[in-house]
Structure 1
């Protein structure tokens, strides 16, 4: 429950920021191009800390790191509401990315530790809590806007609620996620060595999945507008159907993994990503495209949790170090996928660019049997 509280508060904080982006864009008078550039500051902060975050968590323990990092994450959220210039917003997003990555590595380290204690898959359910928090944050955002609260006031309400909730939850986190002296010595001696093969393999699977996720997050609305030709009120249908099924898939993913096994589940997930995107590409009508996006939502739902779970159990390697390596490679997919869509769409069309992403789902299905960690 304590780990779930952190997942929920992290998801709620991020969704809170996302719900007020239009207001901040308007108040700062930012163009679409400038806003897009500034939004890159958040992943830039995350990528900057990836080489160190795993070692920080391994050195001080995920419990302490998560407790401190979340406080900074909450304060970073409030700083977004203080921005009066574009560069100030970019700086605040960069700080949020740094603290957010430390939270991400430490909370997933905690989740892997709890999963080991339970002796059965539960990581996907934790990620389902994050998705649920995203819906909650969007609804709370609508409420705050209707009450005419400024983003700064809104952010402080969420930050205070999050800090209080996680303060009480922190004492119940496990202490078992700390690196032993022998592990820490081993990691220091291998600091500049090539990452183990299994880290690269897991990272590639995560890369393919997160490229698909990023595409759905950033381009689903555009696809429904430009290709499906949905009416104004129905444009968000694709994104909403994808998000709902992704959340449902995460809550059911653990039980399905127990029944069918990790390898078969990942193969199925990859095929669903391919099938769902292909359906939306070849049958771009409202009903069929929505069905396709629903299939994609279920396809991506459990891939990253299963990859992270596997990374956290690599023999002879601290979970936080392994998670940092795998998440670093995976997150590149989230960063590179959406720009690739735009570039290819400019040269050809949006359906062709979605086809490239669909192939990544097929790659997941083909590569998984060749990775020994999933056997």
Structure 2
């Protein structure tokens, strides 16, 4: 039995706005940290290899606590978990400038990842609840708010760095913004009725449906992670773009991914989840293949835009379907699917690097193009995607 949403105390539009704003907040916290990575690296004298290790401890912290967070959401409700999670998340952001060594920063980032994951599972559970109230797909627009926060966070970081504002002051500004939003909006989040004692017990075995959704999410997040980490390198080494244009591919990908998430719900309503995911997989695969066979500045930019559109709706749709599972609590179901999906984000970029080291970066992109077509074929055969 799932936990059920209590009768909303506020208007559905106000609840949806609050959930959207909190998606934005989680994205703003993450992008604020990401915008300062180079500065932190230089301040602590961290090597490239050590930085790679630091960037790994955060997702590891997320993955190892996925099942625990899912159980907490089922037991205490996503509203309570999110309220604690976002406060821990933003105060740990503030703790980062106080790190004095590799080990202290690693410890902070591990906890940062755990609270990030708490926010992720809890707010996606809230997103599923909002979809139930509206009785239509709106999950992609929520994830669009997270993507938009990535741009805003990067822009804030850029502006503050140009004015020589130190990291601590930067993160205090973010803290004030988040706390102001938190205290004004948290009351609008959904309350949940208590779940049964059976749901509170230990591990719930994932069924075939959740495993399939997890694999689809894995393929989508592996591609997304690859584009995040390797787009600039691809434009530098394969496209051989001028230095000032090496970030063009990444920007093109991010713009279409964010835009696709804001308009994705409209396409899902019109064409159904199956058709949208089929097209998403084809766009991912085709975009990557174009970049492999035609590594020119213009064509690669257009190709990365296709990949961004392909990635846009994949994970939001998978999470939406997982959260509507008929027999497993939404928080637990989301945790299960996220566990498998996030492995793609974790393992995809290193896999690209290993293949590139042995052969060539284009071979890596060609392999990941196959992921998109596998995704499209899986969606075609899964009976779950009927609408």
| TM-score over 0.5 for the pair | yes
Deviation at 1:192, TM superposition (A): 4.5
Question: Could you tell me which residue of structure 1 aligns to residue 7 of structure 2?
Answer: none
Question: Could you tell me which residue of structure 1 aligns to residue 268 of structure 2?
Answer: 257
Question: Could you tell me which residue of structure 2 aligns to residue 3 of structure 1?
Answer: 19
Report the more deviating stretch, 192-201 or 117-126.
192-201
User: Aligned equivalents of 2:366 and 2:194: distance in 1?
Assistant: 43
Uncovered stretches (5+) of structure 1, i.e. residues with no partner = none
* CA shift digits 1:156-201 (9 cap, x unpaired): 210221122022111011114x5522xx51462xx44642111100
Question: Could you tell me which residue of structure 1 aligns to residue 376 of structure 2?
Answer: 365
Q: Matched residue of 1:99: which SS?
A: helix
Alignment RMSD, CA only? Answer: 1.0
Report the more deviating stretch, 145-154 or 13-22.
145-154
User: Aligned equivalents of 2:357 and 2:245: distance in 1?
Assistant: 25
TM-score by length of structure 2 reads 0.94
| Residue pair 1:123, 1:306 contacting (<8 A) in 2 also | yes
Question: Which residue of the other structure, out of 105, 108, 115, is the alignment partner of 1:99?
Answer: 115
Question: Which residue of the other structure, out of 79, 90, 103, is the alignment partner of 1:63?
Answer: 79
Question: Could you tell me which residue of structure 2 aligns to residue 213 of structure 1?
Answer: 224
For residues 29-44 of structure 1, the aligned pairs below 5 Å read 29-44=45-60
* CA shift digits 1:267-324 (9 cap, x unpaired): 0000000000001000000000000000000000000000000000010111000000
* CA shift digits 1:90-112 (9 cap, x unpaired): 11110100111010000000000
Q: Which runs of 4+ in 1 moved over 2 A?
A: 191-194
| Residue pair 1:63, 1:173 contacting (<8 A) in 2 also | yes
User: Aligned equivalents of 1:305 and 1:232: distance in 2?
Assistant: 34
User: Aligned equivalents of 2:152 and 2:356: distance in 1?
Assistant: 33
| Residue pair 1:247, 1:301 contacting (<8 A) in 2 also | yes
Say if 2:215 is the partner of 1:204. Answer: yes
Question: Could you tell me which residue of structure 2 aligns to residue 185 of structure 1?
Answer: 198
Say if 2:88 is the partner of 1:75. Answer: no
User: Aligned equivalents of 1:52 and 1:130: distance in 2?
Assistant: 24
Report the more deviating stretch, 166-175 or 100-109.
166-175
Report the more deviating stretch, 232-241 or 31-40.
31-40
Question: Which residue of the other structure, out of 42, 51, 54, is the alignment partner of 2:67?
Answer: 51
| Residue pair 1:67, 1:167 contacting (<8 A) in 2 also | no
Deviation at 1:334, TM superposition (A): 0.2
User: Aligned equivalents of 1:193 and 1:68: distance in 2?
Assistant: 24
Question: Could you tell me which residue of structure 1 aligns to residue 326 of structure 2?
Answer: 315
Say if 2:174 is the partner of 1:163. Answer: no
TM-score by length of structure 1 reads 0.97
Deviation at 1:76, TM superposition (A): 0.8
Deviation at 1:48, TM superposition (A): 1.6
**Aligned residues, how many?**
370
* CA shift digits 1:45-66 (9 cap, x unpaired): 1012112010101111111111
| Residue pair 2:121, 2:331 contacting (<8 A) in 1 also | yes
